[in-house]
A and B are shown apart, each in its own frame.
Chain A
Amino acid sequence: MISDQPLRARVVDLDLVVEQLRAVLLAEPGLVRLEPTVRSTVQRLKLMSVAVFQQTFRPAGEDPTVSVTDGLTLSLTGTTVNVHIDIATDIAHPALVLSERLQAITAETIQRNGLTTGMIDVTILAIEGTPRSRPAETPIEG
């Protein structure tokens, strides 16, 4: 017998979503790396110690509300996920265009996991590249 009651969406593990998102983002051409920040580092250390406590005391089935990896912070409220991404980009790709693409990819990944997209904020912390030699150009000489 099939129930006609709607099933309530529930996150199995937010850490899995953050890892999946990290892999998807790093595969995007132009993204050099996800940059760690004090916020993400401290948050991750805090969560690691809290996780040990929660393994014992968290009620069974309760969802984690924040998941952090270097440069990537996901926070969950109900089924809505807010994301903050800190990035280093390659100079060969326009940083703003790439950031907007990363927002879209993030939204798509979150929705694929059955969750609702909240705010997706991106901070560009570095644009990296090495000056390429331009043989056609010579110094402007007097």
Chain B
Amino acid sequence: MAMNDSWAQDDPTQHERPRLGCGRDLDEVWASIDEPPSAHEQHCEDCRSARASLHHLASVTDSMREKDRTDPELQPGTRVREAIMMVARAEVRRGRRAPLARTGFGAVDISEQALTALIRFAASTLPGVRARRCSISTTGPGGTRAPSGDPVDVTDVRITLRVALPSTMRIPPAMVSLRERVGAIVQSQTSITMKQIDIVVEDLYDL
């Protein structure tokens, strides 16, 4: 396939672009490689040769790509796949992010999972309280519920915490202590002041 680079002297910005002997840009020929040859391409020796070479290149590339897909040597090992899947599953569980601060260095945020784990931990520091599920909700503008992919709005954190208590525990004072404990620990760890802490006593257990 005859190539010509004399055109580059006329247009220095086109210096790297290869052209055929007939003056056509090789990229132009490549762009129409899947179409039938034009009238010029049917008669031009340079274009015919270029098309044949490009067809060969494309078929070799396709064949190599296809071979790579099934080549056992190029597949990730079981350990690599397991490591990626383990991290992927953990990341899905971590949920949304809540922005905590923006310092002079950059941003600090916390995952929703870390926040709910912290809340459950805070609840279980109260003797007798067994923390169960915890969910966090924030409302969007106008009181609508924020989409699940959005970051948690830290100015409007509302939680629902489900707990089990000993059957001998007096529930009203326990709820006051629990709210104080959860609020204080979350505040000291993250600086988030929760707007609403709903507690559901879903079970009583015998001591």
Q: Bound state CA distance, A36 and B88, in angstroms?
A: 10
- The residue in chain B whose Cβ has the minimal distance to the Cβ of A104 is B105
> Distance in Å from the Cβ of B148 to the closest Cβ of chain A?
18
Instruction: Check B110–A95 contact: CB distance below 8 A.
Output: yes
A-B contact count (CB 8 A): 112
B89 CB, nearest partner CB in chain A, Å: 10
- A106 contacts B by Cβ under 8 Å: yes
What string of 1s and 0s marks CB contacts (under 8 Å) between A76-108 and chain B?
000000010000000100111001100110110
Cross-interface CB contact of B80 among A45, A106, A119, cutoff 8 Å? A45
Q: Which residues of B contact A95 (CB under 8 A)?
A: 110, 114, 118, 189-190
A41, CB-defined interface residue at 8 Å: yes
**Chain B residue with the shortest CB-CB distance to A135:** B127
- Range of interface residues on chain B? 35 or more
- Contact status B87-A41, CB under 8 Å: yes
Q: Does B84 contact A (CB under 8 A)?
A: yes
Q: Is the CB of B80 within 8 A of A103?
A: no
Choice from A36, A103, A137 contacting B87 with Cβ under 8 Å: A36
Complex partner residue of A94 from B87, B127, B128, B188, CB under 8 angstroms: B188
Evaluate contact between B189 and A41: CB separation under 8 angstroms: no
Quick check: which of A3-11, A14-22, A50-58, A122-130 contacts chain B, the rest being far away?
A: A122-130
Nearest CB in chain B: distance from A118 CB, A: 8
- Contacts A38-B84, A41-B87, A96-B189 given; does A127 touch B118 at CB 8 Å: yes
Partner of B169, one of A37, A41, A140: A140
Across the interface, which residues of A come within 8 angstroms of B117, CB to CB?
Answer: 126-127
Residues B51-93 near A (CB distance < 8 A): 76, 80, 83-84, 87-88, 91
* Given A38-B91, A123-B111, A126-B114; A91-B166 close (CB under 8 Å): no
Q: Of B76, B125, B128, which one neighbours A140 at CB under 8 angstroms?
A: B128
Contact with A along B111-127 (1 / 0, CB 8 A): 10110011001001111
Q: Does B173 contact A (CB under 8 A)?
A: yes
Q: Within the assembled complex, what's the spacing in Å between the Cα atoms of A41 and B83?
A: 8
- In the complex, are the beta carbons of A134 and B125 less than 8 A apart? yes
Q: Max chain A CB contacts within 10 Å: which of B80, B106, B169, B170?
A: B106
* CA gap between A123 and B108 in the complex, in Å: 6
User: Quick check: is A121 within 8 A (CB to CB) of the other chain?
Assistant: yes
Q: Are A127 and B87 neighbours in the complex by a CB distance under 8 Å?
A: no
Q: Which of B87, B88, B168, B173 has the most CB of A within 10 A?
A: B87
Q: Within 8 Å CB of B14, what residues of A? A: none
**B45 at interface by CB-CB < 8 Å:** no
Interface residues of B (CB under 8 A from A): 76, 80, 83-84, 87-88, 91, 94, 97, 100-101, 103, 105-111, 113-114, 117-118, 121, 124-128, 166, 168-170, 173-174, 177, 188-191
With A123-B110, A141-B166 already in contact, 5 other A-B pairs whose C-beta atoms are closer than 8 Å: A106-B105, A117-B105, A127-B121, A139-B168, A140-B177
| Listed A/B pairs (19) with beta-carbon separation below 8 Å | A94-B189, A96-B101, A96-B191, A99-B108, A100-B103, A100-B108, A103-B103, A121-B109, A122-B106, A127-B121, A129-B121, A134-B127, A139-B127, A139-B166, A139-B168, A140-B128, A140-B170, A140-B173, A142-B170
